[in-house]
């Protein structure tokens, strides 16, 4: 009788585990399927609503849980800016985004022809977000060089990430169910060991279905709006 009961308990535990694994696989499959092959075009706007640049992210499936995202930048005059590849990974519990994709494009323009390297660090967005949830901080350091010689280093720290509320956001690309997430960011560019930090506050409207934000607002340390980035088209 005892052996029979133990076999029953083990069977239940096994089924629960397999069910959890299947749910994780389905969640990741839905995420990868939703963005793979898609081309997302964002516009960067100044405080008057004028377009400063366009950024196009092209997503390509790498495997069942990973998507490679290629970014192309074009300024308001049509001149191409920096481009590069990052990854988005689904581990069943969260979508993890390569932190290099958080570095403001405006900070990278002057390094367009230089080699940019750095350890891969990820920012996590839990699949089950909830209002009031505190999210993990993140930090990334990039080394910028030319001809094999290190020229400067850029460090970005993101802290105080908080899910503030659920909200629908409508852009030219459609209407999206989003979570508004706020955080503080510090970007420091060091040259010859000297760097002046830039402190900003960010509010982003994150779409779980898309695995990324559809709108982002940047504020200075006095909470004055400095710019907006909006998803403009999906192809």
Q: What is the pLDDT of residue 142?
A: 78
- List the beta bridge partners of residue 219: 201, 225
Question: Any idea how long the chain is?
Answer: 235
What is the C-alpha separation between 57 and 221, in angstroms, rounded? Answer: 29
The CA distances from residue 143 to 102, 111, 113, 119, 190, in Å, are 15, 11, 14, 9, 10
Element (H, E) at 100: none
CB 129 within 8 A of CB 179: yes
Estimate to the nearest angstrom the gap between the alpha carbon of 10 and the chain centroid: 40
For residue 179, the tally of other CB atoms under 10 A from its CB is 20
Rounded to an integer, what is the distance from CA 34 to the centroid of its chain?
16
All structural domains of the chain: 2-234 (2.40.360.20)
Say whether 33 sits in a helix, a strand or coil.
helix
Query: What's this model's pTM, rounded to 2 decimal places?
Result: 0.80
Rounded alpha-carbon distances, angstroms, from residue 27 to 22, 30, 54, 64, 164: 9, 5, 30, 11, 23
Pairing of strands 122-126, 149-171: unpaired
Whether 156 contacts 173, CB under 8 Å: no
Please give the pLDDT value at position 118: 58
- Cα–Cα dist 24/70, whole Å: 26
At 129 the pLDDT is: 95
Inter-CA distances, 45 with 4, 83, 231, Å = 67, 19, 11
pLDDT per residue of the chain (235 residues) written in tens, 0 to 9 = 544 444 444 333 333 333 333 334 447 888 888 888 899 999 999 999 999 999 999 999 999 899 999 989 898 888 887 788 889 999 889 999 988 887 765 555 554 554 555 566 889 999 999 999 999 999 888 777 665 566 677 888 999 999 999 999 999 999 999 999 999 999 888 776 667 788 999 999 999 888 889 999 999 988 999 999 999 999 9
pLDDT of residue 120: 67
**In the prediction, which pLDDT does 104 show?**
61
């Amino acid at each position: 009788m005892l052996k029979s009961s133990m076999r029953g308990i083990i069977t239940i535990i096994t089924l629960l585990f397999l069910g959890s694994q299947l749910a994780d696989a389905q969640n990741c499959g839905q995420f990868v399927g939703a963005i793979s092959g898609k081309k997302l075009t964002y516009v960067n706007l100044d405080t008057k609503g004028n377009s400063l640049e366009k950024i196009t992210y092209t997503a390509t499936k790498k495997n069942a849980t990973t998507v490679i995202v290629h970014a192309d930048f074009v300024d308001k005059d049509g001149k191409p800016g920096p481009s590069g590849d990052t990854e988005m990974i689904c581990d069943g519990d969260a979508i993890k985004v390569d932190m290099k994709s958080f570095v403001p494009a405006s900070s990278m323009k002057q390094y367009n022809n230089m080699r940019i390297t750095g350890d891969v660090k990820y920012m996590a967005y839990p699949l089950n977000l909830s209002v009031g949830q505190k999210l993990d901080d993140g930090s990334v350091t990039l080394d910028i060089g030319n001809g094999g010689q290190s020229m400067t280093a850029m460090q970005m720290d993101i802290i105080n990430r908080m899910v503030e509320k659920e909200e629908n956001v409508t852009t030219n690309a459609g209407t999206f169910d989003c979570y508004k997430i706020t955080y503080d960011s510090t970007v420091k560019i060091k040259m010859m060991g000297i760097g002046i930090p830039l402190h900003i506050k960010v509010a982003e409207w994150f779409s779980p279905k898309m695995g990324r934000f559809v709108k982002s607002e940047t504020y200075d340390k006095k909470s004055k709006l400095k710019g907006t980035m909006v998803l403009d088209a999906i192809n």
